Amino acid sequence: MNAIVSALDWVPDFARGRVRDMRVRWALEEAGQPYQTESIPTGDRTTLRAKQPFGQVPAYVDDEVEMFESGAIVLRIAERSEALMPRDAAGRARVQTWMFCALNTMEIPLAFLTELNVFSAGQAWTEGARPKAESWMRQRLSELSARLGENPHLDGDRFTAGDLLMADVLRAVPEAMLAETPNLAAYVARCTARPAFQKALAAQLADFTGSPPPGWS
Ligand SMILES: N[C@@H](CCC(=O)N[C@@H](CS)C(=O)NCC(=O)O)C(=O)O
């Protein structure tokens, strides 16, 4: 059976191409594993909650497992594909380390910044929080930039599931801020130029065939 990935049938323009099923689609494309999507109406909380306890996407099913949480799903795909994770214990540990780094060390400050810049944009409280959010993000970017150095990928020459998650997180950093660390900006450009990313992106965009849920303004 092909894997099935849940996706939303409508999101506002700013979120198109950025919904977290992108990570799963990208991983499946890199692994060369065929998949189908199940497009769920964005307002259908009952169906969404039946698949994912928080009413979010992605959820995932294959011939053996049912899962949610994009990072865990990418790990499942990587464990079944040498294209995303080496087989030896040391190599697997390095990839898993970078995967958690992307989702924890980098995505947490990014989520704080995105809350201010996007979801709560224009609200008075955000102005007091902005210096802290920006300095936290900049600190993490500069530390990651120092570690990446001139390497093409986090584990050296080869692209792994660690790069997949890291690049997917970093591409949501405001462009001007990311440009302050030119090696990271080039790294994101390199990873997202991969044919598998481009294929996943086109597929996500093509799946937005629905309408805004009732009450959306
Ligand atoms: N930690 C979850 C987060 C999933 C998540 O935030 N999904 C968003 C789209 S990117 C969503 O479904 N939002 C709809 C909602 O929260 O109502 C994961 O990585 O899978």
Structural domain boundaries of the chain? 3-83+198-206, 89-194
Residue identifier of the C-alpha nearest atom 1 of ligand 1: 69
**Whether residue 58 has a cis bond before it, omega within 30° of 0:** yes
Residues 39-57 pLDDT 10s: 999 999 999 999 999 999 9
Q: Specify the CATH number for 89-194; select among 1.20.1090.10, 1.20.58.190, 1.20.1440.120, 1.20.1050.10.
A: 1.20.1050.10
Asked if the model's pLDDT at residue 217 lies above 70, the reply is no
Pocket test for ligand 1, best of 57, 100, 118, 171 (most atoms within 8 A of CB): 57
Q: Is 170 helix (H, G, I), strand (E, B) or coil?
A: helix
Query: Rounded to whole angstroms, how far apart are CA atoms 201 and 206?
Result: 9
pLDDT of residue 216: 82
Tell me if 3-83+198-206 shares its fold with 89-194: no
Average pLDDT value for residue range 205-213: 95
φ/ψ (deg, to 5) at 28: -65, -40
pTM of the predicted model as reported, rounded to 2 decimal places? 0.97
Of the chain, the percentage scoring pLDDT greater than 90 comes to 97
Find tokens 């697997």 and name the residue.
92
Q: What is the CATH number of domain 3-83+198-206?
A: 3.40.30.10
Residue identifier of the C-alpha nearest atom 6 of ligand 1: 56
Using alpha carbons, select from 102, 116, 113, 110 the residue that is nearest to residue 187.
102
Length of the chain: 217
With a 6 Å cutoff on the Cβ, whether 57 touches ligand 1 is yes
Average pLDDT value for residue range 150-169: 97
How high is the mean pLDDT of the chain? 97
Q: Which atom of ligand 1 is nearest to the CA of 19?
A: 10
From the CA of 205, how far away is ligand 1's center (Å)? 17
Q: Which atom of ligand 1 is nearest to the CA of 54?
A: 16
pLDDT band at residue 207 under the 50/70/90 scheme: very high
Average pLDDT value for residue range 51-79: 97
Asked if the model's pLDDT at residue 196 lies above 80, the reply is yes
CB 90 within 8 A of CB 36: no
Average pLDDT value for residue range 25-41: 97
- Residue burial 39-74, b: 16+ Cβ < 10 Å; e: rest: bbebbeeeebeebbeeebbbbbbbeeeebbbbbebb
Cα–Cα distance list, 72 to 75, 114, 192 (Å): 5, 22, 21
Asked if the model's pLDDT at residue 205 lies above 80, the reply is yes
Residue identifier of the C-alpha nearest atom 3 of ligand 1: 69
pLDDT band at residue 90 under the 50/70/90 scheme: very high
